Chains A and B, each alone.
Chain A
């Protein structure tokens, strides 16, 4: 690609900094400014598991076509971190630009003649204009925002407005930030030919969308679902989900009319001593009639598994958000994967299976959070919402969320005092409707509804048993419930190709964006593919139909062991030979290139054969 080819509203801007230097606010400012210019944009934060002093990157992709996954290229690199300079220089796509802080000389040996390198004395300017050491570091970062405004035609008026909104309560900070913006901007204007080929231009492609990360959206979903109890143990990358729930509860759930002698919070958030306890709290709260959930990540699910099996067998509603990160073991806590598919589906010892929802983006996180509570109450079983770090912690452009105030939670089969009064006798595990779901009762309602909840062998009446037939009677009824679950979980989403094809592709969760972009690119090269996005486990009939209807089905997932492919083989009648894996598991969000290459290389091989 030539250096002069313009990339208007179609570029990747990557910023390499050191964490703990305030670069997050500078990067957020850039992303939001592009968004306000009406350009579809996405931001991916590649950060270390560390508080201060290690390399961190922020990748902003602007895409006039609305592609939100990683593209695999870098058009403009801002290399603020000397420690990673060599790596950052290498990563710039041919024809691209690298901007570095020329306060200090860079290694002359490192050079590329296929990119343009621009030096701006950011630290020098910041040191000359600001007195306090900490402020100098922060303003050095704000100064590169100013330079990029000049270099990439980012609207200064919007940047100013954003600063005014951010620092409305601290007007002094607006002035110092604007001063830093001007320093970078003016230097770039005077010393570099502006704008670069990769630049922004106002457009109107964002509609009523807004910017949000998946964890915040899921937290909002929990609030709208009527969840009142949240129990958790802090773990990256799920922590911001509970932070969000707390923030929104404090905003929306403080009861001004409540008894001042007790409290005002129409919610109860408990920071547990560990994930085992968090799971126990979720079970206890749901058992007692509240909607309760826990956000965690893979290591947490490992610890919660004993309780998850209990909830399955004793039939207690419970919602588990697993914001997946890279495993195994501690793995890479600040990198992303889809590696908990099998664990979520079968968590705990003995015969257990759990419904799993696969949100693809923050919009899904919101609506699926609500769905998870309804499903859990209806099916009286643990429900997993399997998000990941990329969805959960990165900023996404999200279509406007709508709420229908006529929504009422589906609390499932819960008998109240009147219903119990009319019954001759209540039996906890007696299925009266044939759907595999027995009615439950809540504590504090009626002595007639009392029962003894246990994870040990029990019969349909709720009594303890070690009797072979009585035991089997209950676990067989749980299979009937599993069939009911297939009808209730969200169906997969089919995107048909423009013309008939024998090739199918299956993906789920955070791989969706890369697949969508890849399919457009493949179509342009003459490869047509039908796409099925899985939204849930168990798989319903539509999944089987899709598998049957294609000769080859590619399964895209972000783990090493092809877990979703395994699950499809285990839980459908598919001929395993027709399933072809496209795997990406290095911890970075899957780029569309991976899907394009994986699929087209296979199709090419087939053509040769």
Chain B
């Protein structure tokens, strides 16, 4: 077997949530991502958030597309059904699943390639449809599984591992989601669990499509001078004499910053990303202001994080469709069958 099951052992003294479940009960199989990958921190935050929210694992569906990020639903909530779909098409599968069973709590994990390139259309339309889900984009600006091509979120001027410079504009999922009329749009950083866990919880609790863009550094392919989404942590261990990709163990980066302050994070290789937390007087219900604010800070090379836009009043897909409260997947056939007589009557009108 090429996947590794974690022993499900509960240690005495582990804290239980109100369902009597420990954090361990919200985990999945062991991650096969690179050590130090930002995605694993997000997985841990998801585990933490579900545990804190005390959601029954079987009440959750985990949806994903294709890519490093889309593997991660296997690494949390092993008691939930998961659907690792095809590249860029997760939103449609999630739409169908929730159309059938609106009682499920839907957490979806995608990446910048999955959502902003091949799946840009589905991303846009699920936001428009306001499907009741948490849509996490684990955003690292690079294609990892195919070894380091730029993704659509790579910033202009950002350099690839082999030095090639990206000269095209970046697609910002946050600005896009706000423009599309998204009802909940947030951004965070995989290294800031204190900010991330509450945002995940808020997104899960929101009625409608909660888009959460999480900057999640790729330690293997976006790890060099000139990258705007990189820690380049492993460079000092890279040995170019042998043409083999080698990923040494690395440490997770943790960031802390105060409300209202922009915080530069110095990376291992000396490059810097700047995280900007939302001002105290920022109004997350004002679309125009939100977009202006994002543009201002983008021009300065800073990344705005936090809950950037929310409209709790927008109707979700089922409200828009006027669907019955009881999940359609549980509808009794007796309630769905118009019956023999109805068919007879209908045909009388067609003669």
Contacts and interface: CB of A to CB of B under 8 A. Distances in A.
Interface of A: 35-36, 209-212, 220, 223-224, 226, 228-229, 231, 248, 251-253, 255, 258-259, 261-270, 272-274, 276-290, 292, 306-307, 310, 400-405, 407-409, 441-447, 449-456, 459, 463-467, 470
A263 B3 contact: no
Contacts of B347: 210, 400-401
Given A444-B58, A444-B104, A284 B94 contact: yes
A357 B104 CA distance: 34
Contact of A266 (B2, B317, B336): B336
B74 to A, nearest CB: 5
Nearest to A405: B340
Interface residues of B, number: 69
Contacts of A274: 121
B89 interface: yes
A283 B93 contact: yes
Contacts of B250: none
Contact of B56 (A211, A259, A447, A453): A447
A289 B94 CA distance: 13
Given A231-B96, A284-B93, A450 B78 contact: yes
Contact of B86 (A261, A289, A455): A455
Nearest to A318: B96
A252 B342 contact: yes
A257 to B, nearest CB: 10
B57 interface: yes
A450 B350 contact: no
A280 B1 contact: no
6 contacts: A248-B338, A255-B324, A284-B96, A288-B96, A289-B330, A467-B2
B97 interface: yes
B96 A454 contact: no
Contacts of B104: 288, 443-444
B339 A263 contact: no
Nearest to B96: A284
B99 A281 contact: yes
B100 interface: yes
Nearest to A280: B92
B97 A284 contact: yes
Contact of B81 (A36, A261, A450): A450
A209 to B, nearest CB: 8
Interface of B: 1-3, 56-59, 61-62, 73-74, 78-86, 89-101, 103-104, 121-122, 124-125, 129, 317-319, 321-331, 333, 335-340, 342-344, 346-348, 350-351
Nearest to A463: B3
Contacts of B98: 284, 288
Q: Which 7 pairs of residues, A with B, have the shortest CB-CB distance?
A: A284-B96, A280-B92, A289-B329, A447-B79, A290-B100, A281-B96, A263-B322
Given A262-B324, A284-B93, A402 B340 contact: yes
A224 B347 CA distance: 14
Given A263-B324, A292-B100, A310-B85, A278 B92 contact: yes
Contacts of A401: 343, 347
Contacts of B327: 289, 444
Contacts of A447: 56-58, 79-80
Given A36-B351, A282-B96, A447-B79, 14 more contacts: A211-B351, A224-B337, A258-B326, A265-B323, A266-B328, A267-B328, A270-B129, A281-B95, A284-B96, A288-B98, A288-B104, A401-B343, A452-B74, A467-B2
B58 A445 contact: yes
A290 to B, nearest CB: 3
Contacts, number: 258
A281 B3 contact: no
A408 to B, nearest CB: 6
A229 B331 CA distance: 12
B84 A264 contact: no
A442 B323 contact: no
B333 A226 contact: yes
A263 B343 contact: no
A306 B119 CA distance: 14
Contact of A403 (B321, B343, B350): B343
A266 B322 contact: no
Contacts of A269: 321
A149 B97 CA distance: 54
A517 B306 CA distance: 72
A287 B97 contact: yes
B336 A280 contact: no
A280 B322 contact: no
Contacts of A405: 337, 339-340
Contacts of A280: 85-86, 89-93, 95-96, 122
Nearest to A255: B324
A375 B14 CA distance: 48
Given A210-B350, A277-B92, A281-B93, A450 B323 contact: no
A470 B3 CA distance: 13
Contact of B337 (A226, A259, A264): A226
B336 A211 contact: no
B101 A310 contact: no
A292 B96 contact: yes
Contacts of B348: 210
Given A276-B92, A452-B82, A289 B101 contact: yes
A306 B86 contact: yes
A451 B96 CA distance: 18
A283 B344 CA distance: 33
A466 B2 contact: yes
Contact of A450 (B58, B93, B319, B344): B58
A459 B62 CA distance: 20
Nearest to B59: A444
Contact of A228 (B62, B100, B322): B100
A306 B104 CA distance: 26
Nearest to A263: B322
B329 A307 contact: no
Contacts of B82: 450-453
Nearest to A445: B58
A252 B341 CA distance: 12
A452 B342 CA distance: 42
Query: Which of B2, B79, B81 gathers the greatest number of chain A CB atoms within 10 Å?
Result: B81
A263 B318 contact: yes
A444 B57 CA distance: 9
Nearest to A35: B351
Contacts of B125: 272-273, 277
Nearest to B57: A447
Contacts of A224: 337-338, 343
Contact of A263 (B321, B329, B336): B321
Contacts of A445: 58
A52 B79 CA distance: 57
A265 B320 CA distance: 11
B112 to A, nearest CB: 20
A560 to B, nearest CB: 32
Given A307-B86, A444-B59, A464-B3, A259 B92 contact: no
